[in-house]
Structure 1
Amino acid sequence: MRAVRTGFRDECARLGEVLRDLDEADFDRPTGCAPWTVRELLAHVRTGAGRLVDMLAAPAPARAEVDAAGYFGAAKFAPAVDADRIDAGRREARELDGAALVADFDRAWRATLDAVDAQPPGRVVRTRHGDAMALGEFLRTRVVEVAVHGLDLAAALDRRPWLTPAAAEVVADLLTGGHPAPAELGWDRLTLIRKATGRADLTDAERAAVDAAGFRWLSFAG
């Protein structure tokens, strides 16, 4: 839990630093997460980063039934669910200008950490999809959201990825089930994450090496 919390804190704080340098034109740039602009993608990230506050205010389920890997199942990316996610991001982005959205993101992730820190060990939460999850496992999915969409934002803004070491460790471990990528690939964590989440293509040789190792990634998109 400590490593996951650190990954969430570090990645959110770094994203906030980058966002404070943007002007309104930057927020209107297109992203690779079509049809979202930077503004709309940030609205989505803001909502995801703050989602635990309301979840922790609700009654706790008796026991966890899904872990972080299970949370990223195919049902989470069904067309109807994806359309709702896209529409929500666009709708929420219209409510605030860039500076206000950045400030709101800052409030959201800090409120999440405060809420997490107030919980007892073993706390279980229920997600908006109905999954009962251990708090630490759901927070792990928040690190994925902020870190991976941070790569999308960096690409849209023509910046070098700012992925933090703590977040990279959490995300890579989740995406690979704790197993290392084949050594002959020579991937660092950033490369692994980009390849595993479809932010960079696999070459035929890379795919063959992964298949030969019996290595399977999560079903993850968007």
Structure 2
Amino acid sequence: MPDERPIVSALTDAYTELARLIAPLAEEDGWRATRLPGWSVRDLIVHLLGDAQRALVALATPAPGPADRDAVTYWAGFVQTAETAQPDNRQIRVVRSLAVAHPWESLVETYTETTAAACTLAARTRPHDLISTQGHSLTTDDFLSTLVVEAAVHHLDLTDAGTRPGPPASALHLVRQTLDGLLGHPEPVGWDDVTYALTGTGRRALTGDETRKLKDDAVRFPLFS
């Protein structure tokens, strides 16, 4: 049997660690705040479940070529502007209504089962097949990279709610690659992976010294959110 593709291993690591993070939480933990303003732990798990469900649909939905996004350019549509800097209250209300409707134990179990299924399906795909998601076409491996990045960033959102440990190194490495790709070159500040992930996605503000080191690139932060 051939070795598992690195991107499939990274997705499995990211989803497995998120499931392990969530599993021991009690129902009352579900209403604790996360790094995302206005989002509780329960809200974020519902969002993550939706992402895993989207993965199942996308991996089973072939797309005609050519690809119009890759693992980096996919995120160009998620750049924060002055108009989008505030929390999307409508999105939060929709997610909250779903979060309230899900019994806690069922939500955790469904998330664990769905992410495991997504990893199994991902392992059966071919790296250069095209899939369709959110109005775009990507290769399978580029799509899997976006799933890993999103899982890693939201894992960090959950750790701010008092849960540990953080995302696996393989997932954080892909976040770094994505942020460097959006920036156009390796970041010059010397951040560790977690700090870069938090700063590059707007979870952490730039310091004055970091702004000086970034020079003209400072105004481009966050690179996606």
Q: Shorter-normalised TM-score: what interval?
A: 0.7 to 0.9
Gaps of 5+ in 1: none
Alignment check: 8 A CA contact 1:151 1:163 kept? yes
Counterpart pick for 2:107 among 73, 78, 101: 101
Q: Secondary structure at the match of 2:131?
A: strand
Distance 1:86 1:76, change over 3 A: farther
Correspondence 1:118 to 2:124: yes
Please, what is the CA RMSD of the aligned residues? 2.6
Whole-angstrom CA distance in 2 between matches of 1:107 and 1:6:
17
* Correspondence for 1:200: 204
Correspondence 1:6 to 2:9: yes
Alignment check: 8 A CA contact 1:125 1:133 kept? yes
Counterpart pick for 2:146 among 138, 141, 154: 141
* Correspondence for 1:159: 163
- Report 1:7-86 matches (<5 A): 7-74=10-77, 85-86=91-92
Q: 1:74 deviation in Å?
A: 4.0
TM-score normalized with structure 1 length: 0.85
Alignment check: 8 A CA contact 1:43 1:101 kept? yes
Alignment check: 8 A CA contact 1:72 1:218 kept? no
Alignment check: 8 A CA contact 1:147 1:167 kept? yes
Whole-angstrom CA distance in 1 between matches of 2:199 and 2:78:
22
TM-score normalized with structure 2 length: 0.84
Q: 1:111 deviation in Å?
A: 1.2
Q: 1:26 deviation in Å?
A: 0.4
Whole-angstrom CA distance in 2 between matches of 1:96 and 1:150:
20
Q: 1:109 deviation in Å?
A: 1.2
* Correspondence for 2:176: 172
Q: 1:176 deviation in Å?
A: 0.9
Equivalent residue letter for 1:205: D
Whole-angstrom CA distance in 2 between matches of 1:58 and 1:175:
27
Distance 1:160 1:103, change over 3 A: closer
Equivalent residue letter for 2:97: R
Give the number of equivalent residue pairs.
215
Alignment check: 8 A CA contact 1:3 1:170 kept? no
Alignment check: 8 A CA contact 1:154 1:160 kept? yes
Equivalent residue letter for 1:200: R
Equivalent residue letter for 1:153: L
Q: 1:76 deviation in Å?
A: 7.2
Distance 1:159 1:115, change over 3 A: closer
